[in-house]
Copies of this chain bind each other. A is one copy, B any other.
Amino acid sequence: MLDMLRSEGNRVTTSRRLLIGCLFEAKGHLTAEEIAEDLQRRAPDIHLSTIYRNLDELERLGVVSHSHLGHGPATYHLSTKVHGHLVCEECGVTIEAPDEIFAELAKIVLKEHDFIIDPHHFAVLGRCGTCQQRAVDQERSGEAERASRT
């Protein structure tokens, strides 16, 4: 990947080496801020703006992608690690979903709208099982309360 940078006329610098290392090791989804904290442990004066610039560059080269998992900052990861996300609007939990779940949607949308979906860029929001259950429970206790008042 460093060679790839070089061959495009880009320089191989400390911040880029560390950034790429960080992305390789990363388990999940890192925001620019989180990446900054990580890199700054090894090189304290790497600046956030440098990280944004490097992420942009790597994204242009196609090796990095970002996703939006809800309101709040974007998250970055290697393009090789892309996958879909389900994010609960209530508690914010993020579920990583295999791409197969989008197969049918992709097919329909291509046929009906001549549109190729990229199901990774934006998460699919909704409500997780736990929060559904909580909503049901609250509904029930609300009913009980109303009943007890009569």
Contact = CB atoms under 8 A, between A and B. Distances in A.
Contacts of A95: 113, 115
Contacts of A104: 104-105, 108
A128 B113 CA distance: 8
Contacts of A118: 89, 124-127
Interface string A116-135: 11110111111111001000
Nearest to A74: B71
B113 A121 contact: no
Nearest to A121: B125
A97 interface: yes
A101 B112 contact: yes
B124 A109 contact: yes
A83 interface: no
Interface of A: 68, 86, 88-89, 95, 97, 101-102, 104-105, 108-109, 112-119, 121-129, 132
